[in-house]
């Protein structure tokens, strides 16, 4: 068990419910691996007490920062002092860094985690044509990150077309040169295909796209981590596609969060 002293940097994860969070274990393992004197603890905070909690936490001189998860990702945007352009355009953050004067700076790393996860398995995105299913929270983060990673074009397809149009408009606000189209359930003609809808988590969910249109040359990526082998990935493999599971995204998130929070080896 790690020795905690007055020099130990403190981090927390804000969530409700809290019992399922895996980040403390993963981040504390990361700290141990790189020899960093820090500890991350779960912080169970209800939505109606988030503002008062943050007002108090920012006074903690040994606080390095906070990881933010369900249901607080959107609400923290009104409670932080600064935010990255991407977090502002998405309207949500998953990490808050405490600056030395107590200000809180917000950033959204969900999408960057996905992109880094792909790189970690040898898949570059620059210059590729990408298809994104979904326009909710996960899809927002990934849509911005795909464009930031330099895809040649991005097609967004969502059940509620207005949300796809809205995401397109916000990405274009930040990246006016981006080539973005609104798509249909047909993913053919794109090199990289991403499911960022919640379809596939529950048994009996409909498929998030028309899998009969998948092509063997495509890389098909899943954002869902549980179950690991979704119906989409099973269908993609049957059609000869290369597939990317959801897990590497999470592993890379930990690294990215640590970097943003200023965690360095000692
Ligand atoms: P998350 O934070 O996991 O992204 P979310 O913000 O609720 O969750 O977004 C869920 C995504 O899955 C949305 O793109 C949603 O489509 P709508 O915007 O049309 O709601 C998509 N989704 C969920 N259930 C769906 C279903 N039965 N059919 C098609 N799309 C669905």
Say if residues 77 and 92 touch (Cβ distance below 8 Å).
yes
Contacts of 236 (CB under 8 A, 6+ apart): 193, 211, 214, 218, 220, 243
Ligand 1 contacts CB of residue 151 (under 6 A): no
Q: Nearest to residue 157, comparing CAs of 176, 137, 133?
A: 133
Give the number of other Cβ atoms within 10 Å of residue 236's Cβ: 27
CATH of domain 111-249: 3.40.50.720
DSSP 3-state assignment of 54? helix
CATH of domain 9-108: 3.40.50.10860
Do 9-108 and 111-249 have matching folds? yes
Sequential pLDDT tens for the chain (266 residues): 789 999 999 999 999 999 999 999 999 999 999 999 999 999 999 999 999 999 999 999 999 999 999 999 999 999 999 999 999 999 999 999 999 999 999 999 999 999 999 999 999 999 999 999 999 999 999 999 999 999 999 999 999 999 999 999 999 999 999 999 999 999 999 999 999 999 999 999 999 999 999 999 999 999 998 899 999 999 999 999 999 999 888 889 999 999 999 998 66
Catalytic residue among 9, 73, 89, 128: 73
Whether 73 is catalytic is yes
Domain boundaries, the chain: 9-108, 111-249
ipTM above 0.90, yes or no: yes
């Amino acid at each position: 068990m790690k020795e905690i002293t007055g020099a130990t940097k403190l981090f927390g994860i804000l969530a409700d419910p809290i019992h399922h969070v895996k980040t403390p274990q993963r981040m504390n393992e990361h700290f141990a691996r790189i020899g960093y004197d820090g500890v991350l603890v779960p912080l169970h905070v209800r939505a109606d007490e988030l503002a008062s909690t943050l007002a108090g936490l920012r006074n903690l001189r040994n606080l390095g920062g906070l990881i933010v998860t369900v249901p607080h990702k959107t609400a923290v945007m009104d409670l932080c002092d600064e935010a990255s352009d991407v977090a502002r355009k998405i309207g949500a953050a998953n990490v808050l860094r405490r600056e030395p004067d107590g200000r809180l700076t917000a950033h959204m790393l969900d999408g960057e985690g996905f992109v880094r996860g792909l790189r970690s398995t040898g898949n570059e995105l620059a210059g590729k044509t990408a298809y994104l299913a979904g326009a909710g929270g996960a899809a927002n983060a990934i849509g911005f990150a795909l464009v930031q990673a330099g895809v040649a074009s991005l097609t967004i397809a969502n059940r509620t077309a207005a949300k796809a149009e809205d995401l397109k408009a916000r990405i274009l606000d930040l990246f006016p040169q981006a080539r973005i189209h609104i798509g249909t359930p047909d993913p053919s003609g794109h090199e990289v295909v991403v499911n960022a809808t919640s379809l596939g988590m529950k048994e009996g969910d409909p498929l998030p796209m028309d899998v009969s249109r998948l092509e063997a040359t495509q890389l098909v990526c899943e954002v869902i981590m549980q179950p690991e082998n979704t119906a989409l990935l099973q269908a993609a493999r049957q059609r000869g596609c290369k597939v990317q599971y959801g897990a590497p995204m999470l592993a890379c998130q930990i690294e990215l969060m640590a970097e943003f929070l200023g965690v360095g080896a000692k």
